[in-house]
Amino acid sequence: MITWRSLVRSFQRNHAPIRSQVRQLSLLEHHSYHLLKNFKLPVPPGFLVTTPEQAKDVVSEISKSIHSPKFPILPKPNIRSDGPSVIKAQVLAGGRGKGRFNSDGKSGVRIVDSPSEAFKSATKMLGYYLKTAQIPHDGLRVDKLYVYKAISIAQEFYLAMAFDRARISPVLLISSSGGTNIESNVDKLHKLWFGLSTGITDEIDAYIQAELGFSDSEMKDIHRILVQMVKLFKEKDATLVELNPLVRTNEGEFVCLDAKFGFDNAARYRQKEIFALEERSPEEEEEYQLGKLGLSYVRLEGNIGNIVNGAGLAMATNDLISLYGGECANFLDVGGGATKETLSRAFEILKKDQRVKGILINIYGGIVRCDMIAEAIVSAAAEMGGFKCPVVVRLQGTNSEKRLKLVEHSGLDNLVVEAEFEKAAQMIVKKTPGVEF
């Protein structure tokens, strides 16, 4: 079945680079740690903080005693209470260790040796933007930090489970080069396919031990971790369970220092607790709220906002705007069941988007009625006190000519009508200046 979103993804694959808008649930690190603990996977004790003062207090308490009643924790590996602590920025992106803050140019993962140093680092992290190789443009704002006790690392490993759609089978990915080194050591990545019913077999264990050189006692720990990962993967409808790095400490224990998850969106009704943890960026929140109203919204990188109905028309509109030198700020598909209320909401979203300097409303009146669109345009403009940027309206379909006249004679400033598709696209490109909407 061809859907609006599948066409958008096809366009993104075959045209100029556009930031991916695939909506998948991912968890922030502190949620991931709690999930790992619930499945008895080894993680260091850690605490979420939102202020520099909290970061200072946590490091102070950790340094005093790893069992502080002020910060209760779940069972943990044998971690010394002396030594440094780690502060990690909580954003939905990888590469934080090599990322840089716009405040002091330092990393999104920092090691601190004292409470005062924790306060100083947190002051330069909270409220500032972190940019990494996986975060576009100006970066992501950091409002939460995760603080945990640093542990000694003898070696880092990469361990993940995903789903191989080509083979219709889950696959285990494992490497002796973990952490940030995994990206440059893909050749060391071993792929082992398994069944959810059979789990981790003796053959898989034997292969891993032979290739990665684990001792018999170490392999028992690795096997237990793999079994728990399979359980988590299956019970939580995961599409990705990634432990990176899984480290071997100087004391010979295995501890997960970072984790990343992906979950099947179709399992939302089964995994209500997991999906209740979802955190969205402002851009994702727009898409989410419009989706609840039955509108399909995808944020792009240009400055011309589009309101269209239908996937094919959306693609054609973007192509024509690009052909005439413009660039779209979004795809906003009102579909066939749009109402005045949903269209008003659509205008509100475009109004809040400071990038939008012009709007093209391109409607082919088949299921959706041109008279309703025309009335919604006039009504929305009246509520907003008129349009403060150029708006070009094209309506085609039943009574479209009559309704175009209604819009044209509404007395609204910055609004013009054009029945021809190509002329409408060309017109909005020419009329889009650098003014606020």
Name which residue leads in pLDDT, 352 or 132: 132
288 is catalytic: no
Residue 346 has pLDDT above 90, yes or no: no
Let me know if residue 307 belongs to a domain: yes
For residue 194, name the pLDDT band (cuts at 50, 70, 90): very high
Rounded Cα distance between 418 and 416, Å, is 7
Let me know if residue 37 belongs to a domain: no
Residue 9 has pLDDT above 50, yes or no: no
Let me know if residue 201 belongs to a domain: yes
Kindly report which listed range (34-43, 194-203, 235-244, 283-292) carries the lowest average pLDDT score.
283-292
For residue 23, name the pLDDT band (cuts at 50, 70, 90): very low
Residue 225 and residue 203 share a domain? yes
Which of residues 245, 275, 305 is at a domain's end? Answer: 275
Residue 420 and residue 312 share a domain? yes
Cis peptide before 45 (omega within 30 of 0): no
Q: What angle separates helix 282-292 from helix 340-352, to the nearest 10 degrees?
A: 170
Contact status, residue 317 vs residue 8, Cβ threshold 8 Å: no
Which of residues 99, 118, 149 is at a domain's end? Answer: 149
Task: State the virtual CA torsion across 420, 423, 426, 428 in degrees, nearest 10.
Answer: -60
Average pLDDT, the chain: 82
Let me know if residue 234 belongs to a domain: yes
Let me know if residue 347 belongs to a domain: yes
**Token match 């080509």: residue?**
166
Domain of 119: which CATH number?
3.30.1490.20
Give the strand pairing for 100-101 and 46-49. unpaired
What's the whole-number mean pLDDT along residues 45-49?
Answer: 90
Give the pLDDT of residue 93. Answer: 79
Residue 394 and residue 290 share a domain? yes
Residue 53 and residue 142 share a domain? yes
Residue 252 has pLDDT above 90, yes or no: yes
Give the strand pairing for 391-397 and 415-417. parallel
Residue 334 and residue 418 share a domain? yes
148 C-beta neighbours (distance < 10 Å), count: 24
158 is catalytic: yes
Residue 176 and residue 129 share a domain? no
How far from chain centre, in Å, is Cα 391?
31
What the block records as the tokens of 40 is 């008895």
Give the pLDDT of residue 77. Answer: 39
pLDDT digit string, tens, across residues 371-418: 777 877 888 777 777 788 899 989 887 667 767 777 777 777 788 888
Residue 132 and residue 105 share a domain? yes
The one catalytic residue among 33, 146, 158, 364 = 158
Contact status, residue 62 vs residue 49, Cβ threshold 8 Å: no
Rounded Cα distance between 69 and 273, Å, is 27
Closest CA to 315 of 1, 8, 15, 5: 8
Number of domains in the chain: 3
Residue 312 and residue 254 share a domain? no
124 C-beta neighbours (distance < 10 Å), count: 16
What the block records as the tokens of 27 is 């968890």
Domain of 192: which CATH number?
3.30.470.20
- Can you tell me whether residue 335 is helix, strand or coil? coil
Q: What angle separates helix 340-352 from helix 370-383, to the nearest 10 degrees?
A: 50
Residue 397 and residue 321 share a domain? yes
Give the pLDDT of residue 21. Answer: 38
Let me know if residue 383 belongs to a domain: yes
SS3 content of the chain, % helix, strand, coil (to 5): 40, 20, 40
Which of residues 149, 164, 180 is at a domain's end? Answer: 149
What's the whole-number mean pLDDT along residues 9-18?
Answer: 42
Strands of the sheet with 100-101, listed across from one edge: 100-101, 129-131, 140-141
Contact status, residue 157 vs residue 256, Cβ threshold 8 Å: no
For residue 71, name the pLDDT band (cuts at 50, 70, 90): very low
Let me know if residue 24 belongs to a domain: no
Give the pLDDT of residue 367. Answer: 60
What's the whole-number mean pLDDT along residues 218-233?
Answer: 97
Domain encompassing residue 180: 153-275
What's the whole-number mean pLDDT along residues 129-142?
Answer: 84
Rounded Cα distance between 198 and 207, Å, is 16
Contact status, residue 29 vs residue 90, Cβ threshold 8 Å: yes
Residue 287 and residue 257 share a domain? no
Domain of 371: which CATH number?
3.40.50.261
Residue 247 and residue 178 share a domain? yes
Strands of the sheet with 415-417, listed across from one edge: 296-299, 330-333, 304-308, 358-365, 391-397, 415-417
Give the pLDDT of residue 281. Answer: 61
Give the pLDDT of residue 283. Answer: 61
The one catalytic residue among 29, 242, 286, 287 = 242
Residue 223 and residue 103 share a domain? no
For residue 325, name the pLDDT band (cuts at 50, 70, 90): very high
Name which residue leads in pLDDT, 244 or 285: 244
For residue 299, name the pLDDT band (cuts at 50, 70, 90): confident
Give the pLDDT of residue 381. Answer: 79
